[in-house]
């Protein structure tokens, strides 16, 4: 991969990287399309990164279908698909990790304390392997995007980060490879995540600025679904990823939610622009 990238760069070409864990859907596709517009050459990586899963999480059952993914990417005319083996990435005696400190401790970091260390380490390795000019991530994982931006800034990576909006199913469910875990009944219950975010948007439209009230009303909606178990609902300032009590004019905020439906843990969020 490094040799290919070095050659492309010597030819004066720009490289766009779309990192994924495979089992591709329209959300991934939106990132690929953005990369194709922006870059001369697009590389999609597919790697289910073991170090970002805790022992009790779904690494072993994470959905995979490499042949389907390859077909999907071939149809999109993607230039390169990078599918390394875990043993190539984490060779014997591997012992180096990249860790972003503060913003990895809240929200997802509270419930998945080792997660972001795995994410920043693999993204770092992917950057060193693919040497992209641009890298494309989804707002679906808004905290991950913020963590990666922080890493790029702190470690002076020469990579521009682009964030794409969340792609949803027609009924509002945020697309995710993990949605295949949901039974038909759970799939229906899972709509409460996007519905509660819509509620937050509507409350803000009608003038509500107190995040405690917004969260409490979302909480009630989520709790009305028997099969749900909330991890968190938080409102954060999108500039610095810090928690906030009151929404202030001319600023942007994320409302973020993590919730289990049955045994499947789902995340979703919305961007509020206060005007």
Q: How far is the CB of 3 from ligand AMP (least distance, A)?
A: 25
Considering only residues 47 through 106, tell me which ones interact with ligand AMP, judged by CB under 6 A.
Answer: none
Q: Does 27 bind ligand AMP (CB under 6 A)?
A: yes
**Do 163 and 138 form a contact (C-beta atoms < 8 A)?**
yes
Q: Write the interaction track for ligand AMP spanning residues 148-167; mark x where CB under 6 A is met and - where it is not.
A: ----------------x-xx
| Residue whose C-alpha is closest to residue 43's, from 82, 4, 3, 73 | 82
Which stretch in 173-181, 219-227, 228-236, 243-251 sits in contact with ligand AMP by CB under 6 A? Answer: 173-181
Interaction between residue 234 and ligand AMP (CB under 6 A): no
CA separation for the pair 99, 116 (Å, rounded) = 7
Per the annotation, the verdict on 115 as an active-site residue is no
One of 47, 134, 137, 241 touching ligand AMP (CB under 6 A) = 137
What CA–CA distance (Å, rounded) separates 18 from 36? Answer: 10
Among 153, 146, 125, residue whose Cα is nearest residue 19: 125
DSSP category for residue 210:
B
Nearer to ligand AMP (CB atom), residue 167 or residue 190: 167
Binding of residue 138 to ligand AMP (CB under 6 A): yes
User: CA 117, CA 144: separation in Å to the nearest integer?
Assistant: 11
Q: Please give the Cα distance from 150 to 46 (Å, whole number).
A: 23
Q: What's the min distance (Å) between Cβ of 9 and ligand AMP?
A: 23
Q: Within 10 A of 235 (CB to CB), how many other CB atoms are there?
A: 24
Given CA atoms 105, 107, 113, 116 in this order, what sign does their dihedral have? negative
Q: Read off φ and ψ for residue 190, nearest 5 degrees.
A: -65, -20
Q: Count Cβ atoms below 10 Å from residue 130 Cβ, excluding itself.
A: 26
Task: Tell me which residue of 47, 6, 61, 91 sits closest to 264, measured CA to CA.
Answer: 61
130 binds ligand AMP, rule: CB under 6 A: no
Residues 175-194 that bind ligand AMP (CB under 6 A): 175-177
Nearest distance in Å: CB 19, ligand AMP = 6
CB-nearer residue toward ligand AMP: 25 or 217: 25
Contact between 174 and ligand AMP by CB under 6 A: the answer reads yes
Least distance (Å) between residue 93 CB and ligand AMP: 27
Q: For 46, how many CA atoms within 13 A lie in the half-sphere containing its CB?
A: 22
One residue of 31, 73, 122, 267 binding ligand AMP per CB under 6 A: 31
Which residues are paired to 258 by β-bridges?
A: 232, 267
Interface residue with ligand AMP among 20, 35, 196, 228 (CB under 6 A) is: 20
CB atoms within 10 A of CB 161: 17
Q: Give min distance, CB of 162 to ligand AMP, in A.
A: 10
Whole-number minimum distance, CB 167 to ligand AMP, in Å?
4
Q: Which of 25, 28, 115, 188 is catalytic?
A: 28
Enzyme catalytic residues: 28
Footprint on this chain of ligand AMP (rule: CB under 6 A) = 20-21, 27-28, 30-31, 137-138, 140-141, 164, 166-167, 174-177
């Amino acid at each position: 991969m490094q040799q290919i990238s070095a050659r492309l760069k010597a030819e004066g070409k720009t490289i766009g990287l779309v990192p994924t864990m495979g089992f591709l859907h329209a959300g991934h596709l939106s990132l690929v399309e953005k990369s194709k517009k922006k870059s001369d050459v697009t590389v999609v990586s597919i790697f289910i990164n073991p170090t970002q899963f805790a022992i009790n999480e779904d690494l072993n059952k994470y959905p995979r279908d490499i042949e389907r993914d390859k077909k999907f990417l071939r149809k999109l005319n993607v230039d390169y698909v990078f599918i390394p083996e875990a043993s190539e990435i984490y060779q014997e005696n591997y012992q180096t990790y990249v860790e972003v400190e503060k913003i990895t401790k809240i929200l997802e970091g509270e419930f998945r304390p080792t997660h972001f260390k795995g994410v920043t380490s693999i993204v770092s390795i992917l950057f060193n392997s693919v040497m992209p000019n641009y890298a494309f991530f989804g707002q679906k994982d808004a905290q991950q995007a913020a963590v990666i931006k922080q890493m790029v800034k702190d470690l002076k990576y020469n990579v521009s980060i682009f964030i794409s909006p969340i792609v949803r199913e027609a009924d509002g469910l945020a697309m995710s490879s993990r949605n295949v875990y949901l039974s038909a009944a759970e799939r229906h219950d899972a709509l409460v995540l996007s519905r509660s975010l819509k509620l937050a948007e509507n409350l803000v439209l009608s003038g509500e600025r107190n995040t405690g009230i917004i969260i409490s009303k979302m909480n009630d909606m989520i709790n009305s679904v028997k099969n749900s178990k909330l991890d968190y609902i938080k409102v954060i300032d999108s500039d610095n990823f810090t928690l906030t009590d009151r929404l202030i004019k001319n600023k942007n905020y994320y409302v973020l939610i993590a919730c289990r439906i049955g045994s499947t843990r789902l995340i979703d969020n919305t961007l509020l622009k206060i005007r």
